[in-house]
A and B are shown apart, each in its own frame.
Chain A
């Protein structure tokens, strides 16, 4: 008897799709059509706002979405749609070529303006947010573009860099960035290393996801455990294997 269920192509799928049967142990991820926006909102709730005294908008990483939805290409397409509509902003976070941070546009604008209260760079930042962020979905800007298309002067650009909205990329171009996000990056990398270390140290380099979530975290892990787990699964630093006792995370060299 062949106990393994064979892969079946869509054309040969059985007609009856039974709904509502809970499989013991196995966790099912598909719940109808994929709604990326609600997934992003759920992930944002895992972001610790208190840690940064509410100065930072809630940041989600793009690859965290891959850990929830199976189809990566679909996730990418939906994200691009949201970005085109101007609801979502994507940032190059700098520590990894593939790590992109996502923030809701309204959140971002609110926090940036709140941080700029009373500073002399406020007017320039407002102008930047209105003109550039609302219209352009680029991740970085070159000097040429800033001067010609958006009509910013050199001193204004310096003010924007000072306020943290732009970060130097190389001579004559800048990344769009999140002000005061240095702490976030530091804690995030620390936490990721600590969680990966936890998985690595376990016997056979594997841990049940439920067990990992229950574990007491050291002082290095400042974010919610689930936030880090979505990150390491999505970035494919650990393999997610479905077992009868739940999902198992195994470290990948």
Chain B
């Protein structure tokens, strides 16, 4: 570590190298920290979390009871012990709350004044964070499994929505119209994701085992359908041709640079695809337990080398190295199934939420702080006594006698 710092100072190393090495070291040291807590507001399982991409300060969570909570993640108290407080809640008592479980929440990509939530009550609501009232409500015919706003879009403000209907709807935030429909899937669409690299590229995953990549400017259909055998028709039975998985595909995630796409399916496999060509890179992650009937929210680290994938696996979160496929570690801490996880790129922290109504914060732990350092900071008024362990301090005799 000191070597890296010295090399950067001398100009031998690129500054990015130190940053990458330190980020990777922090991610490998992720652990449940007794000092960091998230306020427990949800009374039922947590289905989805999202951290805003501008400041990384506020976190949204959507629960199975329809409740949406906004948390403040920043620690301004000066103490290491910190509970992330809930700033505001759309609770059961609110007039506009969703009737059934909230499946996806997402901040508006450019500021935290707005967020979008979609739920099993067949609606998608665009909320104003200040007043906590929906500015717009989109209604659909079937349960809404997933929606996504493009994080980099400048020319459009479309929300892609995946519902029980095999057609993917694109709703326009500016005009409120929803006439653009993408047809191609044969079963419900479980997950939709915009590419973080090109603002017109959308990937969708469906229960018919197919993953399609679309360019929304093109009227004629999908660009690619991902094929797990890379066109080698001999490998599987003939029904499995052109499928991404041997079961429902319920998780989609692009890597931070948008060059690779990860998909998970109920065949207990996770696959890494080259997002430009649609080729299966054949990285073998082994068995990634997946029993979710809905969307699985998993996440990829950003700014590390090698990148890591955090996948909820039963009641723990599995961490895999992205390109080699080896299982690095399992983060255990939840009492019940984990449904969603989200990576905070600035602090290399992981937040995961699950059916046990808890959101756990996994914080990098690098070095246990020494006892002497702590007592030094608290005993600022101590005269003459240099770093006495608080256990030996005289706390009972009084000075008066």
Contacts and interface: CB of A to CB of B under 8 A. Distances in A.
A138 B236 contact: no
A177 B41 CA distance: 58
B325 A73 contact: yes
B369 to A, nearest CB: 12
A170 interface: yes
Contacts of B284: 66, 72-73, 75-76
Contacts of A66: 284, 286
A236 B235 CA distance: 21
B238 A73 contact: no
Given A7-B28, A76-B284, A236-B287, A71 B233 contact: no
A6 B365 CA distance: 9
Interface string A139-169: 1111000000000000000000000000001
A218 interface: no
Interface string B84-110: 000000000000000000000000000
A12 B324 contact: no
Interface in B1-48: 1, 21, 24-25, 28-29
B153 interface: no
A202 interface: no
A65 B55 CA distance: 46
Given A7-B329, A9-B28, A72-B325, A236 B286 contact: yes
Contacts of B286: 66, 72, 236
Contacts of A142: 233
Contacts of A138: 232, 234
Interface in B214-265: 232-238, 240, 246
A75 B282 CA distance: 11
Contacts of B237: 97, 169-170
Contact of B328 (A2, A7, A12): A7
A214 to B, nearest CB: 28
Contacts, number: 60
B137 interface: no
Interface string B266-299: 0000000000000000111111000000000000
A11 interface: yes
Interface in B308-341: 324-326, 328-329
B383 interface: no
A14 interface: no
B368 interface: yes
Interface in A42-57: none
A12 B238 contact: no
Interface in A155-213: 169-170, 173
Given A139-B235, A236-B286, A70 B368 contact: no
Given A7-B29, A7-B329, A73 B24 contact: no
A73 B324 contact: yes
Interface in A219-253: 236
B266 to A, nearest CB: 13
A140 B237 CA distance: 9
A139 B234 contact: yes
Given A73-B282, A141-B234, A9 B21 contact: yes
B334 to A, nearest CB: 17
A230 to B, nearest CB: 15
Contacts of B285: 72
Contacts of B24: 9, 11
A71 B324 contact: yes
B236 A97 contact: yes
A92 to B, nearest CB: 8
Contacts of B28: 6-9
Nearest to B28: A7
B331 to A, nearest CB: 11
A12 B325 contact: no
Contact of B21 (A12, A70, A75): A12
B234 A140 contact: yes
Contacts of B232: 138
A173 B238 contact: yes
A139 B236 CA distance: 8
Contact of A12 (B1, B234, B329): B1
Nearest to A94: B237
A97 B229 CA distance: 13
Contact of A76 (B234, B235, B282): B282
A139 B368 CA distance: 55
A141 B235 CA distance: 10
Contact of B238 (A70, A76, A170): A170
A38 B25 CA distance: 35
A232 B124 CA distance: 46
Interface in B120-149: none
Given A66-B286, A97-B240, 5 more contacts: A7-B28, A71-B325, A72-B326, A76-B284, A170-B237
Interface of B: 1, 21, 24-25, 28-29, 232-238, 240, 246, 282-287, 324-326, 328-329, 368
Closest 9 CB pairs of A and B: A72-B284, A138-B234, A236-B287, A7-B28, A140-B234, A9-B24, A139-B234, A73-B325, A11-B21
